[in-house]
Amino acid sequence: MELLTDNDIFDLLDGVASEEVTQRHEKLCKTDESYRQYFSELHGLNESLNILPLESPSLAFENTLINRWEAAQTNYKIPTVLKRTPFIFAGIMLSLMFIVMLFFIQLQPTTTGFTAIDF
Amino acid sequence: MAGDKTAHRDLVRHHKDFAFTIAYRILNNRQEAEEAAQDAFMQAFAALKDFNRTAKFTTWFYRIVFNAALMAKRRHRPIETITESHALAFSVMDTTRSLQNQERTAQIQEALAKLSADDVTMITLFYLKEFSLEEMAGITAISSDTIKVKLHRARKRLAQALRLQLGEEVKNLY
């Protein structure tokens, strides 16, 4: 008799196997000792996984998380103000440069007239 | 603001165990799992206003958890192996569980630790019984056609890891 694949066995364990697979399984259980052992192993694993408990984090988890979130929200406001600082700084520097340039332009000796070259 | 805080707390209370379990199974370390779960919540809180209300919240959120745990796994050192002290810690945590179940749980945790993050996630999501195969596909960004195959392979690899592990335990007895 044709053996069942692992996929067939998992379908059986999940309760979604076809009628044909179920019948083959029942026959194999009666006739094939090695199949019975293999199925029993996977069945045991499936049962254990079914009762594997849900884990719980520490008791402080909830408060730590809420505090972290609140702190992050408070800190979030500071960067928005700070975010403008480079622009303010760049603005001030550009203004200063402009004033300095104007100042030096004022100091430049001015030409008294323009002599056109006459060809 | 106070309403937001209450809503956030409700969200944490409702999802913390599932989020932590997914992260813990992937990372196999309680502290790192807590950090990953917290990071996931922080990301989710920050992105809540952009959350598409037509999508299912759990699929969206557990995808964040899955990614946060994967990121943490890539960042951190080799996985912590489950020792007898861990098994003892499990038993202290829940005295109502039978000793046999605790032992089996510790064995499975140890075998899960030997699998890839993908395999662990498949198994964890499936046995949490909260998600359909389509939702699992959404969380892991794997097509729904391949999710069942991946789940079957993951379980087979877990069975092999468990067999090897139990064989070694028996050898160590002699």
Structure confidence by residue, pLDDT tens digits, B60-100: 999 999 999 999 988 875 544 545 445 445 445 555 556 77
CA distance B107 to B85: 13
Q: Is residue A116 part of a domain?
A: no
Rounded-to-integer distance, Cα A70 and Cα A93, Å: 37
For B173, the token pair is 């007895």
Residues of B in contact with A58 (CB under 8 A): 30, 34
Radius of gyration (C-alpha) of chain B in whole angstroms: 17
Between A109 and A89, name the one with better pLDDT: A89
What is the share, in percent, of chain B residues with pLDDT greater than 70?
81
pLDDT at A65 over 80: yes
Tokens of A89: 């700084």
Could you tell me which chain A residue has the CA closest to the CA of B161? A45
| Amino acid symbol at B50 | D
Q: Left, alpha or beta for B129 (phi > 0: left; psi -120 to 50: alpha)?
A: left
Q: Which amino acid is at B115?
A: L
Environment class of A99 (CB within 10 Å of its CB; exposed 0-12, middle 13-18, buried 19+): exposed
Residues A61 and A91 in one domain: yes
CB contact under 8 A, B162 and A45: yes
Percent of chain B exceeding pLDDT 90 equals 40
Residue ranges making up the domain that contains A10: 6-50
B49: how many CB neighbours lie within 10 A of its CB?
6
Rounded CA-CA distance B172/B156 in Å is 24
A46 vs B contacts (CB less than 8 Å): 155
Q: Is residue A26 part of a domain?
A: yes
- Hey, what amino acid is at B148? K
Cβ under 8 Å to B: A residues 49-88: 49-58, 61-62, 64-66, 68-70, 72
B97 touches chain A (CB under 8 A): yes
pLDDT of residue A66: 92
DSSP one-letter string for B98-130: -HHHHHHHHHHHHHHTTS-HHHHHHHHHHHTT-
pLDDT of residue B90: 47
Judged by CB atoms closer than 8 Å, whether chains meet at B159 and A45 is answered as yes
Contact A52 B20 (CB under 8 A): no
pLDDT at A78: 58
Interatomic CA distance for residues A58 and A42, integer angstroms: 33
- The number of domains in chain B is 1
Looking at the domain assignment, is residue A100 inside a domain? yes
Neighbours of B146 (CB within 10 A): 12
Residues of chain A contacting B128 with CB distance shorter than 8 Å: 54
Average pLDDT score over chain A:
85
Torsion, Cα of A78, A81, A83, A85 (10° steps): -120
Instruction: Decide if A64 is inside a domain.
Output: yes
- Chain A, nearest residue to B1 by Cα: A70
Single-letter code of the amino acid located at B100: Q
Evaluate whether residue B166 is within a structural domain. Answer: no
- Give A28-31's long-range contacts (Cβ < 8 A, gap of 24+): A28/A1, A28/A3, A28/A4, A31/A1
Chain B residue numbers touching A64 (CB-CB < 8 A):
38
Instruction: Flag whether residue A26 sits within 8 Å of chain B, measured between CB atoms.
Output: no
A63 with A41, same domain? no
User: Rounded distance, CA B8 to CA A69, Å?
Assistant: 9
Residue A69 · residue B8 · CB < 8 Å = yes
Measured distance CA(A82)–CA(B154) in Å, rounded: 50
Which one of B13, B34, B108 has the shortest CB-CB distance to A52? B108
Residues with Cβ < 8 Å from B97, sequence gap 6 or more? A53, B91, B105
Residues A70 and A33 in one domain: no
* Residue A19 at interface with chain B, using a CB cutoff of 8 Å: no
Running DSSP on this structure, what letter comes out for residue B115? S
Domain housing B8:
1-80
- Residue B110 CA, chain-centre distance (Å), reads 13
Q: Tell me, yes or no, if the pTM score tops 0.80.
A: no
Residue A71, domain member (yes or no) = yes
The structural domain count of chain A equals 2
For residue B163, pLDDT over 70 is answered with yes
- Work out the percent of chain A whose per-residue pLDDT is above 90: 48
Q: Give me the CATH number covering residue B23.
A: 1.10.1740.10
Cβ-defined contact of A65 to B21 (cutoff 8 Å): no
Quick one: A46 and A62 in the same domain?
no
What confidence tier does A61 reach under pLDDT thresholds 50, 70, 90?
A: very high
